[in-house]
Structure 1
Amino acid sequence: MREERAYLVRIVTRQALDRLRVLGRRKESYVGPWLPEPLLTAPDVAEDVELAESVSTAMLLVSETLAPIERAVFVLREVFDLDYEEIAAAVGKSAAAVRQIAHRARGHVAARRPRGVTSPAETRAVIEAFQRAVETGDLQALLDILAPDVVALSDGGGVRHALLRPVVGAAVVARLLTSGWTRRGVDRSFELIQVNGSPGLLVWLNGELDGVLTARVENGRVMGIYHVRNPERLSRAGHETTMSR
């Protein structure tokens, strides 16, 4: 059984590394920000705090800054709790080298990971308030929810209109949301769902799925807004993805 597990870990890890390298080359010519592909997840994923954090949009963005081998070692060690010898066999390096890679990756992630710990219930309440404010175009309500240094990112991949660079600041982001999403003649609606282990929103435009929006919430405020509109990145937004450790 242990040999079968080691074989599966090795095969899956090497396929994932190949995929990461392909994506790395694609990102070099990608139009605008590249956001992680949104995954609809079951509510019980949020109950596993470590798993939910590891698949959150904010954490995936942090892991995107790791080199492929660092990312593989970090996930296998920190999320799946594999020992260094198993990881070494999977990535084709010595256990000593894997220990060094894991230490370096942990330091890199620790310096960039979200600081505040927010409960699923608090996150949901903030997302619901955000939804109401955007739907009604209530600028002041949005300003009350957004952190002063909130960052908004959107991913259209050059296929759909999206921000080509991050937008920073509550006033600018609030005006962008209220002016862009409350135009007359546009039937836009939001559906509260679980995305990447946390509450998020499906964005519908004239009855068609237009995007998926997630947010990073800390201390009762929205610190980051991540809006994926590229149709190619929405392939898993129509069905729930099973996640477990």
Structure 2
Amino acid sequence: MKRLSIGVLALLFALVAPLGQDGSLGVAQAAAAEQEPKKKQKTRRVPSLSESVYKKLGEGQEAIDAKDYALALEVIQGALNRSRRYNENEIANLHNMLGYIYYLKDDYDGALREYKIVVEQGEKIPEGLEVTTLYTVAQLSYVQENYEDALYYMEVWITKATNPSAAPRFFLATVYYQMKEFDKAIDQMERGVQIAQERGTDITEQNWGLLNFLYYEKEDWPNVIRVLQILVEEFPKREHWVRLAGVYGQEGFEKKQLYTLEAAYTADFFEK
């Protein structure tokens, strides 16, 4: 039976469940885009996909494009229910598309189940498919409030990704924050900040805001002040100026509190 190019099939069918509302790859895509150029590495040898599997994936994709998710589910599930023995790469590609269909149907439990089957195939699937699916499983686990799984799969992703950006560190920090493990959350946030600053990539107001909140919860006032100073400089808003002035006053820096309020007033953050 005719065998098809793994490179072409990986490009066509290495689908990742998008987490963005617009159907984009969301955080996973952003994290990949921010990575530094990959170093040349040995190509992973994986089993080929048969023509019959290729055709089923094509039929499933056509149904997805037509938003006929019931038909797409029927096509892919039907292929999996056949008695034919599939190799690991075929299993991964079929379950990958099945996971995507479940995601589009807002069945996150189903999507997670299928995506976990994909990563279980290990070294027998294209590296790109494994890595992107690991990231997706971490994200969906977080959405489902399964924080231990979210941490586990993201940590595995970090070990396999090439030069990962700050995004996965910020993700881990958010997970630890939800688990109220603030020390670990701070560690991940600071590591993410360091990576972003070294690469000259943006750190969002939300990122700084979370770090500020974490230091506030720890009553680490010097670091609260440090982060608030960054916020008033890079994201000058009334709320940041007021908070900075408040912490200055709380810590006995009355002159700095006064100067901060005067600067905010001069910048029209208060009514004159």
Q: Aligning the two structures, in what range does the TM-score lie when normalised by the shorter sequence?
A: under 0.3
Q: TM-score, normalised by structure 2?
A: 0.22
Q: TM-score, normalised by structure 1?
A: 0.23
More helix by share: 2
Higher relative contact order (CA 8 A, sep 6+): 1
Larger radius of gyration: 2
